[in-house]
A and B are shown apart, each in its own frame.
Chain A
């Protein structure tokens, strides 16, 4: 039985919390006012909310709440070891806590942090302390194939835990590619076959690709969806091979975020943007594109979304689905919500700060 529905909204000016009420959403709390809240998520295993903060002056911080956001506890942010060096022999130091991923249901104390400049951190004590994952950092592909895209250095921007096997991890390095571990993070292998990156000297290189975001169909976790810098991709074999499913004559191609249907492995949604050269909406209007046949065809839905003078961009963590509900927030501070699987949309808020992350949950 689904209980109360909640929304966590990470924005440039703090964390906003909403609850669903009478077919609408009501804002109930604004925490960390004025401080960039980069990513927030809910850990259902222990009823904990996590948020990463990107203070302009005071560094990266990690907080958790075990009372629904009423009070927060600061956790010491993870530290890169002294031996961790960047390509130019500069020491690596924490730049962003970009992604927070709770471990599997049978690992209640495990938590993963994806960070810039490319470090993965793992906790086995519920987030009290974090260990640096040397295994990924020391992967032979890193020195030559990881680099910054929109940021100075590479970062880990999505992490998937296989629902049936918590030791099976899939993550994305932007820029670097997709990596998989089958042993809980002890060893890693690239999973980029089929990805074509026109910005690389060898577009079909084994590494060096730019997966903006990866997700899976929870009921069929071998089915992966990837919004890549160079198109949209789908895999039916856990990333062993990828097939490009971008729309050749339509909007579904460039963007950052992608949502996968919870049970139907053929259905996914994207919020298209123009291109990497011009990071704006297409024709000053906003649409959500949905495929229901594994990416063979896409349908663009515009009802309820602005269709003129619109420049809203949707970041990689700012689009989320739960059942037939979808929600996204934009760089222009607009928040849109659908209850019919993306066919029509309602505006929940205007004039919010730029939205970095959108995550719904029910408890």
Chain B
């Protein structure tokens, strides 16, 4: 099971969002499953085409995912996933 954590900034829009364990083979599958549990959540993380939004990062075991376009990065059974926002704007 992948252990998923989120930036606290997402809690503003999804107040029920808490760290969760999900069985997924890839980051893409993980995001899909998150959207089932929290409708619209995927649209905050990826764009129309499923690519990671420019100012969002996903770390797997403290390493940024490689495939920002299709999120094909594999998840090991005990992967630690962290979904964060990049810092920008003012």
A: residues with CB less than 8 A from B are: 55-59, 61, 74, 76-77, 79-80, 82, 91, 93-94
Contacts and interface: CB of A to CB of B under 8 A. Distances in A.
A76 B56 contact: no
B74 interface: no
B37 interface: no
Contact of B48 (A56, A58, A61, A79): A79
B66 interface: no
A11 to B, nearest CB: 15
A57 B55 contact: yes
A94 B46 CA distance: 11
7 contacts: A55-B44, A56-B55, A57-B53, A57-B56, A58-B85, A74-B13, A77-B43
B40 interface: yes
B49 A57 contact: no
Nearest to A84: B48
Interface string B33-69: 0000000100111011101010110000000000000
B47 A94 contact: yes
Task: Say what secondary structure dominates the interface of chain B.
Answer: loop
A295 B68 CA distance: 52
Contacts of A58: 10, 13, 43-45, 53, 56, 85
Interface in B76-90: 85-86, 88-89
Nearest to A74: B40
Nearest to B86: A57
A59 B44 contact: yes
A79 B88 CA distance: 25
B47 A93 contact: yes
A10 B49 CA distance: 28
A61 B53 CA distance: 13
B40 A93 contact: no
Given A82-B49, A91-B49, A57 B43 contact: no
Given A57-B55, A57-B56, A58-B56, A93 B89 contact: no
